Amino acid sequence: MTAPWTGPAIRVGLVGAGPWARTMHARMLAAGPETELTAVWARRPEAAAQVAVEHGARTAACPDELFERCEAVAFAVPPAVQAQLAPRAARAGRALLLEKPLGPDLAAARAVADAVAESGVVSQLVLTKRYHPATRHFLARARGMTVTGARSCYLHGAFLGGDQATAWRLAHGALLDLGPHLLDLLDLAVGPVTAVHGTGDPRRWTELTCEHENGAVSQASLSGAVALPRARTRVELYGPEGELVYDTADLDHEECWPVLRREFAAAVRSGSAGPVDAQRGLRLQQLLDQALR
């Protein structure tokens, strides 16, 4: 059982006021007790003010003012915006809660990771599924299994319309948005990925073939433009001992947020990042870059 949080909450500023910032980041950070949402900045001041008022935070007039009002910064903005502002926050000495992908391309992602390393600040990546107990149980079981091959998918219809059909998602498609989740799971569950080959249209359907260090081969199907009653994420591992399946159909993603918040706050307080950090984000961006090529 996790020990209760003691001492002051980590003061976190939020960059972004869009749908994901409102429904996840702001709500999670304001819930505490490990974190306190202190300030919000967004390119649309009226949207930032709405989020700030709802959670008892202040509105920052600019990113630098936000950095002054917090000790950690959470990002809920498109990858290109995150890649511009995250290095500035790191150089200001602020810990970073980063979205995936780190940037719109490999060069931008490397600039973020380099800024984190040079500044020596704590970073953590919002790979949602990594914070669910069921995911951790699956990965623990996978470590004891000999995997010959794997199949996986991450499919939904959010790009067809609604709040998640944002401009950057429609432009870059499922590979940059959903790919980090599956590549992260395959890299851990099957074994380190050494090569990725991609085909298809990221805005409609992308198919990835991954070669792994241990000789295994895995497949990943990605789409945000198929009509399904709910999102489908599934990983199937096969080997001489049988099969192991991970399926998010019955998972409650609300269980992820307290774990994410607690682990980020603990990392900031200790000054020591966990394994899901900016370097992990760079590793995943390198695999995405291979797939794009």
Q: Say yes or no: 94 and 178 in one domain.
A: no
pTM for the model stands at: 0.95
pLDDT digits (tens, 9 = 90+) for 153-182: 999 998 888 877 788 888 888 999 999 999
The DSSP bridge partners found for residue 244 are 237
**Mean pLDDT rounded to a whole number for the chain:** 95
In a domain, 123, yes or no: yes
Question: 153: closest CA among 236, 234, 248?
Answer: 234
Range of the domain at 71: 10-128+254-276
Q: Say yes or no: 71 and 117 in one domain.
A: yes
First to last CA, the chain: 45
Q: Say yes or no: 36 and 81 in one domain.
A: yes
In a domain, 219, yes or no: yes
Residue 152 to residue 225: CA distance in whole angstroms:
17
In a domain, 159, yes or no: yes
Q: Are 40 and 17 in contact (CB under 8 A)?
A: yes
Q: Are 208 and 222 in contact (CB under 8 A)?
A: yes
Question: 277: closest CA among 97, 61, 59, 152?
Answer: 97
We report the CATH number of the domain holding residue 101 as: 3.40.50.720
In a domain, 3, yes or no: no
| E runs forming strands in 162-231 | 193-201, 205-212, 217-223
pLDDT at 165: 74
Q: Say yes or no: 84 and 70 in one domain.
A: yes
Q: Say yes or no: 223 and 265 in one domain.
A: no
pLDDT at 1: 58
